[in-house]
Amino acid sequence: ERWTNIRSQLSWDNIKADFLKSTALLKTFEAPVKVNMDFEQAMADVAAVARPTAEEFARLTEQAKLLGRTTQYTASDAAKAQQNLIRAGMTADQVIKAMPATLNMASAEGISIDQSSNIIAKALGGMNLSAELAPRLVDILSYTSAHTNTDTLALSEAFKVAAPVAAIDHAEEVEDEEI
């Protein structure tokens, strides 16, 4: 009788059911682990590009996590945007100041974070503007896009020509909106 009981417990159907339960349990943990691994890799990429101090890296990491909790984007998305801004020549402090505007523009204009971070970095850098002006730049671009027959991506193309002129005018204290 003992053998019969053991054999019934080791039946193919029971083994298969136990295996499927175990697989389902593992799948439950797979997604959060992958999300964490993706974030860690994204932050490692930020560190490789920026070469920040330990304090700067901690601030960048905390900001990416905060933006991941408080926006429609993930922390990994935020880290990738940070990396784009750094690749465009921004310092860690400048990135921290420009990130909220970067995500706001991507969301408001329906463009990718990559596009948004590239537009902001090129526009600010091309016109020699500080990162603190990123929110103002986003407001100007969004307003212009909403009130003209163009979009933010087309406006960003115009910066290729206009940014050097704007940088000269900006040095002469001309209002940014006039540019």
| Neighbouring residues of 78: CB distance < 8 A, sequence distance ≥ 6 | 63, 64, 67, 68, 71, 99, 103, 113
* Residue-level pLDDT at 13: 67
Return the HEC string of 146-163: HHCCCCHHHHHHHHHHHH
User: What is the total residue count of the chain?
Assistant: 179
Considering only the C-alpha atoms of the chain, give the largest distance between any 2 of them, rounded to a whole number of Å: 97
Segment of 141-145, 154-158, 162-166 carrying the highest mean pLDDT: 141-145
| Neighbouring residues of 103: CB distance < 8 A, sequence distance ≥ 6 | 67, 71, 73, 78, 81, 113, 116
Give 87: exposed, middle or buried? Use CB within 10 Å, 0-12, 13-18, 19+.
Answer: middle
* Residue-level pLDDT at 35: 60
Give the relative orientation of helices 75-87 and 54-70 as an angle to the nearest 10 degrees: 130
| Cα 67 off chain centre by | 9
Sign of the torsion angle spanned by Cα atoms 32, 87, 152, 179? positive
* Residue-level pLDDT at 27: 65
∠ CA 69-105-71, rounded to 5° = 10
DSSP, collapsed to helix, strand or coil, labels residue 84 as helix
* Residue-level pLDDT at 47: 92
* Residue-level pLDDT at 83: 94
| Neighbouring residues of 102: CB distance < 8 A, sequence distance ≥ 6 | 81, 85, 113, 116, 117, 120, 134, 138
Q: How confident is the model at residue 57 (pLDDT cuts 50, 70, 90)?
A: very high
Is residue 37 pLDDT above 50, yes or no? Answer: yes
Q: Give the model confidence (pLDDT) of 72-125 as tens digits.
A: 999 999 999 999 999 888 899 999 999 999 999 999 888 899 899 888 888 888
* Residue-level pLDDT at 74: 93
The rounded percent of the chain whose pLDDT value lies above 90 is: 31
* Residue-level pLDDT at 174: 45
Which residue would you say has higher pLDDT here, 168 or 34? Answer: 34
Indicate whether this model's pTM tops 0.75.
no
Q: Give the model confidence (pLDDT) of 130-154 as tens digits.
A: 888 888 888 888 888 888 888 888 8
User: Mean pLDDT over residues 143-172, rounded?
Assistant: 75
